[in-house]
């Protein structure tokens, strides 16, 4: 049984779906109906779920973490077990690489494609289907020219998330991923694009 819980915190709704110790989906939205629609739409098929009125410790910690990420206050790592097994293998690869992007940095759809395979467009489609927004930071993936790119709740929300996550880093970084390098740029590159 998957348990679903949602809660309004500071005019934003956060939601999560868990089974035992694994996270199956997360969502956030300023509207209750929208947060539930997104969350329930990302649950695996043919798995029963139940809405719970009382969160257990995992749900409480998960929603607290989602809020901290939204507010730009959490640096991770989070330590939650994320259930990816029901997703297509390419989406799993893209999301696993996306989960490596640290707070204060962004990367591009093309950079993810270089390590995950595929094209920037296929990476964009995988990011758009991310059932773990905030927890897997698809908002940290932007276009090659450092413009925002798409986001489920709109570009303004994505920009707000990134600006709150800016840590003032100056240097680019490279992460080794499966014998390839994922290039990361500080959020200041995005700020320069906006100016």
pLDDT of residue 67: 96
- 109 is written with which tokens? 């759809």
Report d(CA 118, CA 126) in Å as an integer: 11
Q: Is the pLDDT of residue 75 over 70?
A: no
What backbone phi and psi angles, to 5 degrees, belong to 143?
A: -75, 165
User: What DSSP designation does 73 have?
Assistant: -
Angle between helices 120-128 and 109-116 (to 10 degrees): 100
CATH for 89-194, among 1.10.3480.10, 3.50.50.60, 3.40.640.10, 1.10.10.10? 1.10.10.10
Task: Please state the rounded mean pLDDT for residues 139-160.
Answer: 92
Task: Please state the rounded mean pLDDT for residues 115-135.
Answer: 97
- What does the mean pLDDT of the chain come to? 94
**Helical (H) or strand (E) element with 104:** none
Task: Please state the rounded mean pLDDT for residues 3-20.
Answer: 97
At 19-30, the pLDDT tens digits run 999 999 999 999
pLDDT of residue 195: 75
Q: What is the SS3 assignment for 81-121? A: EECCCCCCHHHHHHHHHHCCCCCCEEEEHHHHHHHHCCCHH
Active site residues: 138
Task: Please state the rounded mean pLDDT for residues 12-22.
Answer: 97
Whether the model pTM is above 0.85 = yes
Tokens 């290039």 map to which residue?
A: 183
Domain locations in the chain as residue ranges:
2-82, 89-194
Task: Please state the rounded mean pLDDT for residues 156-160.
Answer: 95
pLDDT of residue 149: 87
More confident: 125 or 191: 125
User: What DSSP designation does 10 have?
Assistant: T
Task: Please state the rounded mean pLDDT for residues 141-162.
Answer: 92
């Amino acid at each position: 049984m998957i348990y679903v819980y949602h809660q309004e915190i500071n005019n934003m709704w956060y939601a999560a779906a868990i089974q035992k110790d694994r996270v199956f989906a997360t969502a956030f939205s300023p509207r209750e109906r929208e947060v539930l629609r997104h969350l329930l739409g990302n649950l695996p098929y043919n798995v029963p779920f139940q809405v719970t009125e009382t969160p257990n410790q995992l749900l409480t910690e998960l929603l607290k973490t989602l809020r901290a990420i939204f507010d730009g206050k959490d640096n991770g790592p989070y330590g939650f077990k994320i259930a990816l097994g029901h997703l297509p293998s390419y989406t799993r690869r893209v999301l696993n690489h996306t989960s490596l992007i640290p707070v204060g940095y962004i990367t591009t759809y093309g950079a993810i494609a270089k390590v995950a395979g595929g094209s920037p467009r296929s990476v964009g489609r995988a990011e758009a289907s991310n059932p773990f927004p905030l927890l897997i930071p698809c908002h940290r993936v932007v276009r090659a020219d450092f413009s925002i790119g798409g986001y489920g709740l709109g570009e303004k929300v994505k920009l707000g998330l990134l600006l709150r996550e800016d840590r003032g880093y100056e240097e680019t970084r490279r992460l080794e991923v499966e014998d390839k390098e994922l290039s990361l740029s500080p959020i200041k590159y995005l700020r320069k694009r906006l100016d």
